[in-house]
Amino acid sequence: MNVQTPVSMPPLLSVSRRARRTPFSDGVEAAGVKAYTVYNHMLLPTVFRSVVEDYHHLKSAVQLWDVAVERQVEVRGPDAGRLMQMLTPRDLRGMLPGQCFYLPMVDETGGMLNDPVGVKLAEDRYWISIADSDLLFWVKGIAYGFRLDVLVEEPDVSPLAVQGPKADALMARVFGDAVQEIKFFRYGWFEFQGRYLVVARSGYSKQGGFEIYVEGSDLGMPLWNALMEAGRDLDIHAGCPNLIERVEGGLLSYGNDMTRANTPHECGLGKFCSVQTAIGCVGRDALLRVSQEGPIRQIRAIAIDGDLPGCDRVWPLKAGDTVVGQVTSAAKSPDFDTNVAIGMVRMTHWDAGTALTVETQAGAFGAEVQPKFWI
Ligand code: THG
């Protein structure tokens, strides 16, 4: 056997207990998963047939995604609302049970710690559906340090996403027609095998769909199998967050497109911040300054020419010899006939139409700042 890794093949991922399996891993493997990444110390599928085949199928049919890696930080108790507002610069006063909010979360310097979806279950109970950082420790630290009357834990809750244009048709078959009435970023409680689950209209694609917060690992495979069975004639297939589609849609990836070095305003998430009224947010003072003055660099859609390598590192963006930003996600787009990319660009060069070069491990390529993302 040839044990050399060909240059065109990514290396393998060694799996052990530290890369946790999910309640759906058996189904994912039966569906022929080809690659995983690790996210929140848990396995996240990245490829089934190929990234391009998965992309076309996501845009035309319906996919079942094991997104159990979107772990929940549960905050429960009399101080739950107070703690939630300490974590985010988004004003939570108007948030009601039944709603999901996209919530930038920041440290005391205004640096991004995570960009979760918050789910308000009750006045005294929330789930924080986290991106890839150990937010649990920060939330526990704040709760303990301020002597708040809350419990902070990771419950046995694993999101399963149903994404794509045929998602409504599929979900109606398993949960009843009423699921189709759920509005974007709202949820309802729906029964499966005698248990009630949170079902939200949300998900990490622009194709529409749902996320089922599967409470109890024992329900994972029964629900996976029921959805697969019900979707057979809809051409259902296992899928996963798709690199190409999410870059086309400008969906940010924490740890890739932004880190603690960035403010929400730099990430284009200023619209989710109400720094004046988010009283109690630990990053409020720092963000009051940046919201007044505006950021000096910001996320932009970037089109790139040529035969790009995979974006597995930061690519400097240059104007002549001067570094004016960086590209952190990129992929060749079948539908838009260019390489689509997400970059962070200094204000001197962030206007749409600005021509730049991007330096990759395979050389320099021409790039152009776009007025908006593709979808
Ligand atoms: N769903 C759930 N949890 C998650 C994600 C998810 N945790 C990890 C990660 N994804 C968090 N990041 C995002 C990024 C973007 C969105 C959701 C979570 C998103 N954005 C909408 C958009 O840009 O079109 C806008 C949201 C809004 O308008 O409020 O959906 O996907 N459970």
Q: What is the DSSP string of 86-153?
A: HH-SS--TT--TTBEEE--EE-TTS-EEE-PEEEEEETTEEEEE--SS-HHHHHHHHHHHTT-S-EEE
Q: What is the DSSP string of 49-104?
A: S-HHHHHHHHHHS-EEEE-TTS-EEEEESTTHHHHHHHH-SS--TT--TTBEEE--
Cβ–ligand 1 distance for 115 under 6 Å, the answer: yes
In a domain, 192, yes or no: yes
pLDDT of 185 higher than 90: yes
Q: Give residue 2's pLDDT band: very low, low, confident or very high (50, 70, 90).
A: low
User: Are the C-beta atoms of 34 and 51 separated by less than 8 Å?
Assistant: no
CATH assignment at residue 50:
3.30.1360.120
pLDDT of 5 higher than 80: no
Mean pLDDT, residues 221-238 taken together: 98
The minimum-distance atom of ligand 1 relative to the CA of 213 is 32
CATH assignment at residue 119:
3.30.70.1400
In a domain, 95, yes or no: yes
- Summary mean pLDDT of the chain: 97
Same structural domain, 78 and 55: no
Cβ–ligand 1 distance for 65 under 6 Å, the answer: no
Same structural domain, 86 and 49: no
Looking at residue 11, its pLDDT comes to 86
Q: Give residue 10's pLDDT band: very low, low, confident or very high (50, 70, 90).
A: confident
Same structural domain, 117 and 83: yes
Q: Structure tokens of 347? A: 């204000």
Residue 45: which of 62, 14, 68 has the closest Cα?
Answer: 68
Q: Structure tokens of 271? A: 């619209």
CATH assignment at residue 342:
2.40.30.110
In a domain, 18, yes or no: no
47 CA → ligand 1 middle, Å: 20
The minimum-distance atom of ligand 1 relative to the CA of 200 is 32
Residue 237: which of 28, 35, 67, 51 has the closest Cα?
Answer: 28
Same structural domain, 143 and 162: no
Q: Distance (Å, rounded) from C-alpha 312 to C-alpha 276?
A: 38
In a domain, 105, yes or no: yes
H or E segment and range at residue 342 = strand 338-346
Same structural domain, 316 and 347: yes
User: Are the C-beta atoms of 54 and 48 separated by less than 8 Å?
Assistant: yes
Q: Is the pTM of this model over 0.85?
A: yes
**Burial state string for 165-199 with b = 16 or more CB within 10 A and e = fewer than 16:** ebbbebbebbbeeebeebeeeebbebebeeeebbb
Same structural domain, 97 and 229: no
Same structural domain, 317 and 353: yes
Same structural domain, 149 and 162: no
Q: Distance (Å, rounded) from C-alpha 328 to C-alpha 188?
A: 36
Q: Residue 126 belongs to what domain range?
A: 72-153
For tokens 């309802």, the residue is 188
Cβ–ligand 1 distance for 102 under 6 Å, the answer: yes
Same structural domain, 193 and 96: no
Looking at residue 130, its pLDDT comes to 99
129 CA → ligand 1 middle, Å: 9
In a domain, 140, yes or no: yes
Residue 352: which of 308, 316, 318, 303 has the closest Cα?
Answer: 303
How many structural domains is the chain composed of?
3
In a domain, 131, yes or no: yes
Last residue of a domain, one of 212, 228, 246: 246
pLDDT tens sequence across 207-218: 999 999 999 999
Same structural domain, 136 and 194: no
Lowest mean pLDDT among 3-7, 48-52, 157-161, 262-266: 3-7
pLDDT tens sequence across 350-367: 999 999 999 999 999 999
Q: Residue 232 corresponds to which amino acid? A: R
Last residue of a domain, one of 115, 133, 153: 153
In a domain, 13, yes or no: no
Same structural domain, 139 and 164: no
Same structural domain, 58 and 76: no
List beta partners, residue 128.
73, 118
In a domain, 309, yes or no: yes
The alpha carbon torsion through 201, 206, 266, 348 (nearest 10 deg) reads -160
Last residue of a domain, one of 108, 123, 153: 153
